[in-house]
Structures are given as structure tokens and as C-alpha cells.
Amino acid sequence: MDNLLVLAFSAFIIENIILSQFLGICPFLGVSTKRSNALGMGLAVIFVMLISSSVTWLLYKYVLEAFSIEYMRTIVFILVIASLVQMVETFLKKVSPPLYKALGIYLPLITTNCAVLGVALININEGYNFLEMLVYTTFIGLGFLFVMYIFSMMREKIEMAPVPKAFKGAPIALLVAAILAIIFSRFGGII
């Protein structure tokens, strides 16, 4: 149990997917201009990440390893993720139109979000069992949502601030991200 708590905390804050592992930077900069967008993207990523990590983990353990073709994992994983995203989109459209309305536009963007493939690969590389994988993926996703949300609030303020011309847009966003990263890296001393 302690193990899982440590895993959850480090996935959430210390090894934060955006600020210390640099995965999912594209949505981090692209979709964080408004709070509602950040929330939608974050939820969509958690949703897809959990499904795709579970499926790829099972596939790896029971198909790729069983036939000892582990080297196929990159190809298999990306195809699984791409088709899963498509399936989730169609499924949501049919079953829950309000949820589809909220998350729909973010789903196609997720296929090329390196965070989803990255987490699926990290789960395999670290050799997590199924429970650890679920905890790790959930908290990595929550960490993504958390940082996206904080960052989008900051960006709404920056929008109004008098920023030097050369720093407008991406440069000032990156500098703000740097300050956030310093804060998050200091949590490393806790464990």
C-alpha cells in the first residue's frame, strides 16, 4: 500500500509528466489559453490514457511477450492508440452526446499527443504490474490536468499584462513554465 502511495505522489507531482518528463508539451502550450479548454483537454487525456495504457499493457503481456515479438511494440502501440481514439470518439458520440460535446474536439488531437504513447511505453519499461500501472497512469493523468489548469489560469492573466513585444505568445509562456517547473522540482525532497 505504501508503495502505491509513493508511486501515486511521485507520478502526480515529482515526475510530473509535463514539467519534468516533457511529454505532452504541444497541448500544454496549444490548448492552455482558456481554463475551459485546459479542463476539457485534461479530462480527455486522462480518459484515453487509462484505456490505452490498459489495452497496450494487456497486449504486451499476453500477445507480444507470449510470441516474443517485443520489438514490434512501437508499431503495435501507436496503431492501438490511433484506433482506440477513433473508437472512443464514435462510442461517445452514440452513447453520451453531452460528454462528446465537451471532449470531442480534443480527441483527434490526442492521437499525436506524445504523452499517451509515452505513458504506455513507460509502463512497460518500468515493469509495473497491472495495479501499479493503473495507479501510475491515473496519477500521471491527474498531474497533467492539474498543471494544465494552473498554467491556463496564469495565461489568462498574462494575456492582459504588458509583455515586451518579442516575448509575446510562446516565449513568455515558456518562461512561466520554467518558474512552475522550479516549484515542482522542489517537491522532490519530500520522498
Contact positions toward another protein, by CB under 8 A?
A: 19-26, 29, 71-75, 78-79, 82, 112-114, 117-118, 121-122, 125, 164-175, 177-179, 181-182, 185
**5 versus 79: smaller Cβ distance to another protein:** 79
Kindly state the smallest distance separating residue 72's Cβ from another protein, in Å.
7
Minimum Å distance from CB 175 to another protein?
4
Minimum CB distance to another protein, residue 71 (Å): 6
CB of 99 to another protein, least distance (A): 25
- Of the pair 95, 161, the CB lying nearest another protein is at 161
CA angle 163, 169, 175 (to 5 degrees): 75
Cβ closer to another protein: 138 or 185? 185
Residue 164 or 189: the one with the smaller Cβ distance to another protein is: 164
Nearest to 180 by CA among 157, 158, 148, 136: 148
For residues 7 and 113, which CB has a smaller minimum distance to another protein in the complex?
Answer: 113
- We find the least distance from the C-beta atom of residue 64 to another protein, in angstroms, to be 13
